[in-house]
A and B are shown apart, each in its own frame.
Chain A
C-alpha cells in the first residue's frame, strides 16, 4: 500500500521528492562508505538479498490473510541506519522495476517514504528508545517494535501527504486513509521486528549498538514495557484522531464554542496547529508533534523512575 504507482503524483511533487531522495541517498552512500569501507558492497548486497528473502516469509494474521515484513527498521537495526537506507532504496528500485510495485515517477517519493522514514526514522526512534530502556533482549525488542510501528505509520502518513499534495484526493482524506491503513500494517511490522530483534539480542547482541548512557540507570522492565506500550497505542490513536476525525471533532468543537479547549488532552495542541497551518501539512505536523510530545513525556517518566535505587536489570 505504501508504494505509490505511476500516474498518481503531480510533476512538482515527483520532481521535489526525486531531488530530496537523491540528496539523502548521496549522503547515505558517503556515510555508509565511511563506516563500512570496502566491506560496504558485500555487506549491503547480502542485506538486500536478506530483505528480499525475508519479505517472502508469511505471517498469518487473521481470517486467511497474512502479512510480511517490510524490513526498513529491522535492517537498519542490524546493519546501521545509512546502510539500511541504501538497502531499502535498492529494494524499492527492484520492486518498481521487476514487480511494477511502485512507479518510476514515484521512485523518489517511495524511497523517501520507505527507506527514509522506514529505515532512517525507524532507526532514530529505536536508538533513542534503546538508549533509554537499556540493554537486554526484551528492552531491545520493545524499542525496535515501537520504532517499527511509528516508522510504518509515518510511512503511510508521508505517502498520504504526497498523494494529497498531488491533488489526487483532498489531503485530509488521503493522509487519513493512509494513516489508518498503516496504523494496522504497523502492528504486524512491530510484532515481526520485535520478535526478530529479541532473537538477535539473545544470540548476537554484539551486532546491536551498545547503549553507554543507559548502563548507569536501568529502570525496571515493567516501567519500560508500560511506557513504550503507551507510546505505541497513543501514537496510533493520535494519527487516526489527527488525520481522519478532525472534520467531525473540530466542527463539534466550533459548534459548541470550545474550539480552544479541545475534547481530549492530546487534541489540545493539535487544534491550534490545524488552525493556522493548512490541510495536510498541519495534519502531519500534528502527528509528528503529538508523537514527539508523548515521546518526551514517556522518556522523562522512564528516566525519573530509572533513578529508583535497586532497579533490576531487564
Chain B
C-alpha cells in the first residue's frame, strides 16, 4: 500500500528546469495537453509536428526514455480499452479480420489517431511532473484559476496523505494478524471498518489541525514558506506559442 507512487520527481537539472519555473511548467503542460488532446481529426502532419516538439522536450529534460516510457505505459490501459471499441463500431470497409471480429479501415485510423493524441498529452504531462517537485507543483497551482479551497485541499491533502496511510497500514497489519485467512465477507467488513476509522480520524484530525493553525495565527490563508523562484517567462511563452501554432496549423489542415 506504499505511497511512493505520489512523488514522481526525478531530480535532474536540465535546460528545461533552468529556463522555466514550476508554475510556468504547469502552463507548458496545459498547452501541450490541450494542443494534443484537442487536435482536430485528420491533422496528421500537425500531430507529427507536435510529437517532434514533445520528443524535443523529453530530450531536453534529460529523462531516461525507458523510465518515461514505463510511466506513460502505465496510463495506456486507460485509453487503450475505449479506443479498441472504435475499429468495431465505426462503419467502413473491413481492413482487418480477427476471428469473428472485423475491424473497419476508418475505425482503425480513428483509433490510432486517438491513441496518438492521448499518448502525446500524457507524455508531456509526465515530463513536467517528473522534473518538478510535488511541493513546487502545488505552489505552481497558485497561478491557476482554481478556488483557493481546491488548492488548499491539494496541498494539505499531499501533506497528510502519508500520515493517514501510515495509520491505514498499521490497521491493515493488525487485521491481518488477528484474522489470518478469512472469508471474503468478513474481510470486506474488516476493511470497511478500516475506512470508517480512517474517515473518523481524518475528520477529528482536521479539527485538531484547525485549532493548531489558529493558535499559530491562521487568518484563513495558507502561508508559502519559500518564495517562488523568479524566472523570465520568455521561454514558457515561446514553448506555449509553439504548441498553439501547431494546433492552429492542425485546425487548418483538417479543414483542407
Contacts and interface: CB of A to CB of B under 8 A. Distances in A.
A7 B202 contact: no
B108 interface: no
A192 interface: yes
Contacts of A57: 1, 168, 172, 191, 194-195
A183 interface: no
Interface string B105-130: 00000000011111001100110010
A212 interface: no
A113 interface: no
Contact of A100 (B71, B85, B114, B197): B71
- Tell me the dominant secondary structure on chain A's binding face: helix
A25 interface: yes
A45 B125 contact: no
B147 interface: yes
Interface stretch (B16-24, B95-103, B152-160): B152-160
Interface string B136-180: 010000000111111011111111110111001000100000000
A207 B207 CA distance: 13
Interface stretch (B33-41, B58-66, B224-232): B33-41
Contacts of A29: 147-150
B4 to A, nearest CB: 12
Interface stretch (A47-55, A231-239, A282-290): A47-55
A36 B218 CA distance: 15
Contacts of A41: 149, 152-153, 156, 220, 222
B193 A199 contact: yes
A102 B125 CA distance: 11
A207 to B, nearest CB: 7
B131 interface: no
A174 to B, nearest CB: 8
B195 A196 contact: yes
B234 to A, nearest CB: 24
A200 B199 contact: yes
B66 to A, nearest CB: 17
B216 interface: no
A42 B37 contact: no
B153 A86 contact: yes
Contact of B34 (A100, A104, A203): A104
A163 to B, nearest CB: 7
A56 B194 CA distance: 12
A74 B199 contact: yes
Contacts of A74: 195, 199
Q: Is the interface of B mostly helix, strand, loop or mixed?
A: helix
Contacts of B38: 9-11, 14, 105
Nearest to A9: B37
B237 interface: no
Interface stretch (A119-127, A165-173, A243-251, A294-302): A165-173
Interface residues of B, number: 85
Among A87, A104, A105, A207, max chain B CB count under 10 A is at A104
Interface string B1-45: 101011010000000000000000000011001101111100000
A56 B168 contact: yes
Contact of B79 (A7, A87, A96): A7
A32 B156 CA distance: 17
A196 B5 CA distance: 26
Contacts of B36: 6-7
B199 A89 contact: no
Nearest to B116: A7
B244 to A, nearest CB: 14
A47 B149 contact: no
A85 B205 CA distance: 20
Contacts of B241: none
Given A26-B147, A42-B206, A103 B121 contact: yes
Interface string A159-189: 0000100001110011001000000000000
A43 interface: yes
Contacts of B81: 1
A79 interface: yes
Interface string B47-78: 00000000000000000000000011011001
Listed residue (B74, B149, B206, B214) with the most chain A CB atoms within 10 angstroms of its CB = B149
Contacts of A103: 33, 37, 118, 121-122
B89 interface: yes
B220 A38 contact: yes
B248 interface: no
A230 interface: no
A46 B200 contact: no
A60 B189 CA distance: 12
Interface of B: 1, 3, 5-6, 8, 29-30, 33-34, 36-40, 71-72, 74-75, 78-79, 81-82, 85-86, 89-90, 114-118, 121-122, 125-126, 129, 134, 137, 145-150, 152-161, 163-165, 168, 172, 184, 187-189, 191-200, 202-203, 205-207, 209-210, 213-214, 218, 220, 222
Given A7-B79, A45-B153, A50-B164, 11 more contacts: A7-B36, A11-B40, A29-B148, A44-B152, A49-B161, A52-B157, A90-B154, A103-B122, A173-B89, A200-B200, A203-B196
